[in-house]
Amino acid sequence: MSMDDEVAVLLEVLDAGFPRVETMTGAEARGAVRARYRAPENPEPVARIEERTVPGPAGDVPVRIYHPAGEIESPCPIVVFAHGGGFVFCDLDTHDGLCRAAANGIGAVVVSVDYRLAPESPWPAAAEDVYAVLCWASAQREALGGDRLVVAGDSAGGNLAAVTALMARDRSGPAVAAQVLLYPVIGADFGTQSYTEFATGHYNTRAAMRWYWDQYVPNETDRAHHYAGPLHAEDLSALPPAVVVTAGCDPLRSEGDDYANALAEQGVPVTHRRYDGAIHGFMTLPLDLAERARSQAWTDIRDITS
């Protein structure tokens, strides 16, 4: 599969700069990734941002709430967002730009969740935190200025969004209008076609993904639970409509594609966009392709929640 020319130019820099997390402890990897973070000088403006905490299963969960700029529909969607980072690193700051863009692009209130991280807090801690914030957002709809709920996330956060949708169905609520899964981590099968084809040399690696799973779900038996690997769920019916984005040159492509197909086969409305020339994480990179993909995703989310 040919890589987008713009992505190929950036790939060498990305591969050279990203730490070999599989050689580190969780704390070391977290520190290495955090050291690479540079806050943008001119972040995309939104109407306002709130920092607060939400009651969670093991204490308060920090959240950052983005209110969109400009004229918006009222009440608007409320997007509960889970950031990526292999379940081990990243935070509210690393995904601030994506959340700002989503709030303005969708015309939605975005609630970004600073969930507990592995390995200190292994599975299912992160998923339970995101579900707790979803329940809080449901109870606070009027105060937030929204009505219909959306769960969204990228990479590991895509896993948490998919799992939160399953939890909400299994636990009789709250009702979720849509799930948005951006190149999600869906299962721990490291022998898929895309894992084989893109094991190394394409930014995200098979070695790193094995390590992420070892940190988050160290007991391999637990990985078969659908709250860990949603692709293992036998029943995907009655789940909310899904927007699924996958990247062609990503070890996770196969599982993301398979999950989109499995949802559709069980009657869930699915909008699946696969960007064949893209790599994992591309929607947060400074690329024209990323701009196009984000714009399309915001349109798809507006359409699926209207």
Indicate left, alpha or beta for 40 from its phi (over 0: left) and psi (-120 to 50: alpha). Answer: beta
Indicate the length of the chain as a whole number. 306
Which residue has tokens 């990305």? Answer: 14
DSSP labels, 179-193: EEEES------TTSH
Q: Is 231 in contact with 262 (CB distance < 8 Å)?
A: yes
* Interatomic CA distance for residues 18 and 12, integer angstroms: 10
Phi, psi for residue 51 in degrees, rounded to 5: -110, 125
DSSP labels, 200-256: SSSSS-HHHHHHHHHHH--SGGGGGSTTT-GGG-S--TTPPPEEEEEETTSTTHHHH
* Interatomic CA distance for residues 110 and 132, integer angstroms: 15
Which residue has tokens 């967002």? Answer: 81
Our answer to whether residue 155 is catalytic in this structure is yes
Residue 239 in tokens: 């789940």
- Asked whether the bond before 174 is cis by omega within 30 degrees of 0, the reply is yes
Per-residue CA distances from 114 to 52, 146, 231 (Å): 11, 21, 25
Catalytic residue among 112, 155, 194, 254: 155
Q: Is 113 in contact with 80 (CB distance < 8 Å)?
A: yes
| CB neighbour class for 22 (10 Å; exposed up to 12, middle 13-18, buried from 19) | middle
Name the residue among 155, 134, 159 with its Cα closest to residue 233.
Answer: 159
Catalytic residues, by residue number, are 155
